A and B are shown apart, each in its own frame.
Chain A
Amino acid sequence: MTDQEAFSVRRLFFVWAKIGFTSFGGGAVSQYLIQESFIYKRKWLGAEEYANIIAMSQIAPGINLIANAILIGKRLAGWLGILVSLVGFVLPSAAITVGISAIYAKFSSLPRVQSALATAFAAIFGISLATNWRNAGPIFASNRKRGPAALAFALAIMIGSALVYAAFSPTVLVLYLVGGLCGAFAYRHNAGKKRKD
């Protein structure tokens, strides 16, 4: 039963521990594996539900992926789920990070190590593009159903905020606020129109 594994707290712990041990490549790869493990492979979470979890995680202070793990754990198994998710995810990855810190500091000046770092980062860049694509996918799909104007507006929020960030590097929180307000306004406007029709 690999496709639709039944849920248990023990499995939850091992799923997180596997992500914690194998997500070499940092946050981009962790996010990718979280999508794989919880949405695509096991279907413990829906893609749209997960998009909401991602959005909420950005509002909390600190590392967003930790907030993300807290919300996923709570949603699947309450307070025990939170504990299991944090321990399973953070303990192995922090231990490996500290272990590699000790090793890396000794070899960081070797050219081959620098070259391997560059090619590995290219792969991380690629995987992060795939992850972002999958995060935005369900939102574009639901907006396409609302019509071309809604789809264009969603695209405009994404591309517009990227351009504004690239040009002015404002505090990210300001971008979240403006993007959130634009989305809220658009969906409310859309819902109002539907009621009139």
Chain B
Amino acid sequence: MNWFLFFWVVLKSVLFSTGGFGPLPSLHADFIAHGWASEKQFTEALAIGQITPGPNGLWVASLCYLVAGVPGAVLSCVALLLPPLSILIVQLVYARIADRAATQGALDGVVLVIVGFNVIVVARLFFGNGADLRLVAIAVLSAALAISRRVPSIVILAAAALVGLLFG
């Protein structure tokens, strides 16, 4: 494995994209072309990234582990951590224009867009995997419990997984 090339391929995919799934197209093209990963490893890594703690974007670390072991995982984490640091530059610009009404409007507008498209993305994954009445009931119940703040999220998730395991 050429580690410089490996690191650059991962860094490039993160640097020129945004969000957890953003690096997918670029990584997919490069990893398949170099013969580093199979299609199956991509779907496995994506699923693991959604279940395990932390950002979904850590699916990249999962993939890099599957194809290149622990050194691959460590390099991918460095590649994941560097690009978001540029947020500090964004914040510097924001500090200068923070007191204008339009600035607050722009930020609120972006949040509203995020909420709208987030719900679509997750709903598509949910219904795309064949959601039946039982799964919808679990989703509604989980949302209600999360809003009520009475049950820790890890308990909600564990209970749901247990139901699937027992009645699967």
Contact = CB atoms under 8 A, between A and B. Distances in A.
B70 A98 contact: yes
Interface in B6-54: 14-20, 22, 44-45, 47-54
A183 B19 contact: no
Interface in B60-112: 61-62, 65-66, 70, 73, 77, 80-88, 90-91, 94, 100-112
A94 B16 contact: no
Interface in A143-182: 143, 154, 157-162, 165-166, 172-173, 175-176, 178-182
Nearest to B109: A183
Contacts of A157: 109, 112-113, 116
A116 B57 contact: no
Contacts of B156: 123, 126-127
Contacts of A51: 107-108, 111
Contacts of A55: 106-108, 110-111, 114
Interface of B: 14-20, 22, 44-45, 47-59, 61-62, 65-66, 70, 73, 77, 80-88, 90-91, 94, 100-120, 122-123, 125-126, 129-131, 134-136, 138-147, 149, 152-154, 156-165, 167-168
Nearest to B130: A118
A92 B53 contact: yes
A40 B149 contact: yes
Contacts of A62: 14-15, 17-18, 22, 57, 80, 82-84
A104 B122 contact: no
B147 A130 contact: yes
Contacts of A21: 53
Contacts of B125: 121, 125
A66 B80 CA distance: 9
Given A74-B91, A128-B122, 7 more contacts: A26-B49, A62-B18, A63-B20, A118-B164, A130-B146, A172-B19, A190-B101
Interface string A174-197: 011011111111111011000000
Q: Which 4 residue pairs of A and B lie closest in terms of their CB atoms, listed nearest first?
A: A183-B109, A93-B54, A115-B168, A187-B105
B147 A188 contact: no
A52 B14 CA distance: 23
11 contacts: A58-B19, A61-B84, A62-B83, A94-B61, A104-B48, A113-B165, A127-B146, A129-B122, A157-B116, A161-B112, A187-B102
A13 interface: no
A183 B14 contact: no
Given A93-B54, A126-B138, A74 B88 contact: yes
B142 A159 contact: no
Interface string A57-73: 11111111111001100
A76 B152 CA distance: 25
Contact of B113 (A116, A158, A191): A158
B54 A179 contact: no
Interface string A81-124: 00000100110111011101110110010011111111111111
